[in-house]
Structure 1
Amino acid sequence: MIDDNKSQLTASRRSVLKAMILLALATTSLSKFIVPGPANAAGKKVIIGAFADGGLTPFKQKIIPLAMEAGFDIEFLEDEYGVTLEKWFADAQNSAGQYDIYLLDDPWVPQFGAANVLEDLGAAGLSADDKDWIDPMLEMGFWPPRSGARAAAFKDATPTLICVPFIGDLQTMTYRNDVYTNGAPTTWDEVIAKGKEGVAAGKIKYPVVFRGVAGNSIVTSWYPIFLSFGGEFFDDNWNPTFNSDAGKAAADFFVGTMKQNAPAGVVEFDSDQEGAAILGGDAGAIIQYSGNALKADDPAQSKVAGKLDFGVTPKQVKAISQMGIFIAGVPKSAPNRANAIEFLKWYTSAETQAKVAESGMIPVKRSAFGVAKPGNRLIPVALKQLDVGAQPRPRMPEWAKVEELLGIELNKALQTGSGGAAAMDAAAKQVREYLTQAGYYQ
């Protein structure tokens, strides 16, 4: 078991969180989604908190009714992404008991783990020994991590399964099949070269598109390029290594070659702009998460439906993408703890996971990828990407700040179209200073 480490959160951080929580509670409304069951049904109550995301639509429309049939009374509460972390963390720390399950964004797991506010799901009977789990997804639910770097306060702690994968999600490539006529391009050089041919032929306006806005957006777009060049973020002692030769080469390629083959305003692009570029027929290729990728098949959203296909991320030395999933945790203050545990056992069973795949969501059990009629054509590509390589963001409570510092420096270099290597050195210096203050180098 993990010792109680709430003291890991500094007083200043608590005050900031408190202010954000109060603002969030004052300015946001909660969306409640309840599937009606038979009159006077006495189902097992489970209150699920989630952030609003299109990737959860199949869950609400197809899986919740199945849960109701299985005897669960599901109350599904949604909030905007920007406020859920603070709300749920306050609920857990204060033992408010407003939720039975949090559907977390996976980078939040370390923060909840460090505060010791989630149930030990392994002890509750959700076995980590089930070989049907997608291993890299399951690993994201342990705190502290079972491998790799650990925060100093948890160096000798026993890893505990505090969350289980709920919906799989990861980056894959969406590309124009009339430009890349031999199938998905396998290298970044091919992406650029064939994309230029497509521009010359008048089929597209530019080979690639990505997000350039400082912070999470630009780091998310740069991440798979960084991984493909062989970069690693930290060593086992949390020393920044993203400014290695591989990291610098990836940054130079991103702010130089990638920018030169992207729209002129890419420095200010976020999800809406990059999506419009690929769905509007202007771009040849993009790396994106499944929720946006699946818009490719919707004629109401895509002007080039039928001309967009999916493939694994291109490689330089590897073909690795960023993985980010919906992951479920049960707060120790859950009012219906037993029901929540039973629901997660039902939901992660091979039988239910097959229904998850049929509904169009990416499952978290390997057997479900083999269903006869998967709900979307990205599912087999997602499994191929998982087997080739998919890596989560570093498992640390301070990741959001690290990402912010890195994203600012990357954006500066992108604005000038050069200086990626220098940006890595500048960000590494700032990250090390920040982690020193956070007590990482004891």
Structure 2
Amino acid sequence: MTDDNKSYLTTSRRSLLKATVLLALASTSIGTLVIPAPAKAAGKKVIIGAFADGGLTPFKQKIIPLAKEAGFDIDFLEDEYGVTLEKWFADAQNGAGQYDLYLLDDPWVPQFGAANVLEDLGAAGLGVDDKDWIGPLIDMGFWPPRSGPRVAAFKDATPTLICAPFIGDLQTLTYRNDVYTNGAPKTWDEVISKGRDGVASGKIKYPVVFRGVAGNSIVTSWYSIFLSFGGEFFDDKWNPTFNSEAGKAASDFFVGTMKQNAPAGVVEFDSDQEGAAILGGDAGAIIQYSGNALKSDDPAQSKVVGKLDFGVVPKQVKAVSQLGIFIAGVPKSAPNKANAIEFLKWYTSADTQAKVAEAGMIPVKRSAFGVAKPGNRLIPVALQQLDAGALPRPRMPEWAKVEELLGIELNKALQAGSGGGAAMDAAANEVKEYLAQAGYYQ
């Protein structure tokens, strides 16, 4: 999810949620007749914790009012991304009961799952077997995962749905339609070659832009290229395989060819800089999440409105992108647990999901992609990408540390402009040593 997200490993905190207490007061008067004031209808209270993200703006503006009409009283409590994991995990572990529902970043699901602090939504009747779910999205809500490697403590456990997909965010391609005049480029070679033609004609300054800062940023930009080259992150025993021949080829392309066709300072680029490059008209193509992609149509943010289109990510051997969705979990300590579960059933129903698509968010049910008037033109492209291929990051509680180790080595190679394959070998050794200490190879 979200190109704007930072590492959660921060110790800063903001104040806890504000408490609102509504008191019903009886009216009294002196006289022969006392007429009580009409009682205010009480909605079904649901306290939602969310991190601040532009992708949630349509939810706040358009879906919460619909929820109110459906009888829900929503407290929507936002905080900075960097403090939410720490705050919510403490709330869940301590049974504090300050939230009814967390809108998690999907890599956090394994951490909450391993701690056994979220409700079993399948047992609560959310419809695990509903064929309308987008398969890769509903799969991300299970702990342990239904496929792929599992951490040792959950090797034989039955997968349980502890989170429900909330917004189907994923990476897609944004490209200049006056440079790639035959539609979205299909391959990375086409991205580079036609992008160079665009530079030669004076339409753009460089073919591509991406994030190069060490850690989450560079790994996010690298990941779709890695997948498109056929890379796989781990084998079924958690041995690193991202340093396979495919992984090394992808990384050499990324730190070599991609860097040579990107801005000079790309090693220090984060989401703000890459966004400015594509929205300012300098870059020809970018892989990004939907929240940033949709800025393409906003004249207040884009200098090239009408010149940016969306497509499936380019392929080397396949066109696979990174999933990063908003996903909802109900803590076992939720004060209004039944309301939260009822809200999720309402929100993920086919009717509401159609409203979600009309509001401009990427839905999580397939039927909703067929609405007559989707709220933005990225929605049909998102379905094309989901069907072409989209994968989450590895489902492991220790992903943040693994990503950090990989991102450091990638950034070193990017600075050098070569050595992507060697960076993969170095990172694989570091990751394996770390996972061994964490007990992954018992």
Give the distance between the partners of 1:31 and 1:159, measured in 2 at CA. Answer: 36
Alignment of 1:21-420 (within 5 A): 23-25=11-13, 27=14, 40-420=40-420
Deviation at 1:39?
A: 8.5
Query: What residue ranges of structure 1 are gaps of 5+ in the alignment?
Result: 1-16
Give the distance between the partners of 1:374 and 1:250, measured in 2 at CA. Answer: 35
For 2:198, give the aligned amino acid: G
Give the distance between the partners of 2:364 and 2:17, measured in 1 at CA. Answer: 28
Residues 397 and 262 (structure 1), Cα distance of their counterparts in 2 relative to 1, 3 Å cut: same
SS at match of 1:119: coil
Give the distance between the partners of 2:143 and 2:99, measured in 1 at CA. Answer: 21
Residues 201 and 32 (structure 1), Cα distance of their counterparts in 2 relative to 1, 3 Å cut: farther
Contact 1:171 1:322 in 2 (8 A): yes
The residue aligned with 1:435 is 435
Give the distance between the partners of 1:373 and 1:29, measured in 2 at CA. Answer: 39
Q: Please give the per-residue CA displacement for 1:87-133, whole angstroms capped at 9, x wherever unaligned.
A: 00000000000000000000000000000000000000011100000
- Tell me the TM-score normalized by structure 2: 0.93
Give the distance between the partners of 2:15 and 2:386, measured in 1 at CA. Answer: 36
- Please identify runs of 4+ aligned residues in structure 1 that moved more than 3 A: 27-33
Q: Please give the per-residue CA displacement for 1:168-190, whole angstroms capped at 9, x wherever unaligned.
A: 10000000000000000000000
Deviation at 1:24?
A: 3.5
Residues 257 and 31 (structure 1), Cα distance of their counterparts in 2 relative to 1, 3 Å cut: farther
For 2:150, give the aligned amino acid: R
- Tell me the TM-score normalized by structure 1: 0.93
Give the distance between the partners of 2:232 and 2:39, measured in 1 at CA. Answer: 55
SS at match of 1:288: strand
For 1:120, give the aligned amino acid: D
Q: Please give the per-residue CA displacement for 1:202-234, whole angstroms capped at 9, x wherever unaligned.
A: 000000000000000000000000000000000
RMSD: 1.6
Deviation at 1:28?
A: 5.1
Give the distance between the partners of 1:338 and 1:312, measured in 2 at CA. Answer: 39
SS at match of 2:185: coil
SS at match of 1:175: strand
Identity %: 87
Contact 1:149 1:237 in 2 (8 A): yes
SS at match of 1:418: coil
Deviation at 1:147?
A: 0.5
Query: What residue ranges of structure 2 are gaps of 5+ in the alignment?
Result: 1-7, 21-37
Residues 32 and 355 (structure 1), Cα distance of their counterparts in 2 relative to 1, 3 Å cut: farther
SS at match of 1:88: helix
SS at match of 1:402: helix
Aligned residues between the structures: 419
Give the distance between the partners of 1:340 and 1:198, measured in 2 at CA. Answer: 51
For 2:223, give the aligned amino acid: Y
Contact 1:101 1:330 in 2 (8 A): yes
Structure with max Cα Rg = 2
For 2:99, give the aligned amino acid: Y
The residue aligned with 2:4 is none
Contact 1:28 1:79 in 2 (8 A): no
SS at match of 2:250: helix
Give the distance between the partners of 2:39 and 2:275, measured in 1 at CA. Answer: 44
Deviation at 1:367?
A: 0.2
Contact 1:210 1:269 in 2 (8 A): yes
For 1:221, give the aligned amino acid: S
For 2:203, give the aligned amino acid: K
Residues 257 and 353 (structure 1), Cα distance of their counterparts in 2 relative to 1, 3 Å cut: same
For 1:124, give the aligned amino acid: A
Contact 1:32 1:76 in 2 (8 A): no
Give the distance between the partners of 2:39 and 2:118, measured in 1 at CA. Answer: 34
Give the distance between the partners of 1:168 and 1:267, measured in 2 at CA. Answer: 29
For 1:68, give the aligned amino acid: K
Deviation at 1:40?
A: 2.3
Give the distance between the partners of 1:193 and 1:248, measured in 2 at CA. Answer: 22
Contact 1:187 1:316 in 2 (8 A): yes
Give the distance between the partners of 1:257 and 1:223, measured in 2 at CA. Answer: 16
Greater helix fraction, Structure 1 or Structure 2: 1
SS at match of 2:117: coil
SS at match of 2:377: coil
SS at match of 1:210: coil
For 1:371, give the aligned amino acid: V
Residues 285 and 73 (structure 1), Cα distance of their counterparts in 2 relative to 1, 3 Å cut: same
Deviation at 1:41?
A: 3.0
SS at match of 1:218: helix
Residues 371 and 214 (structure 1), Cα distance of their counterparts in 2 relative to 1, 3 Å cut: same
For 2:212, give the aligned amino acid: G
Q: Please give the per-residue CA displacement for 1:336-361, whole angstroms capped at 9, x wherever unaligned.
A: 01000100000000000000000000
For 1:208, give the aligned amino acid: V
Residues 32 and 360 (structure 1), Cα distance of their counterparts in 2 relative to 1, 3 Å cut: farther
For 1:114, give the aligned amino acid: A
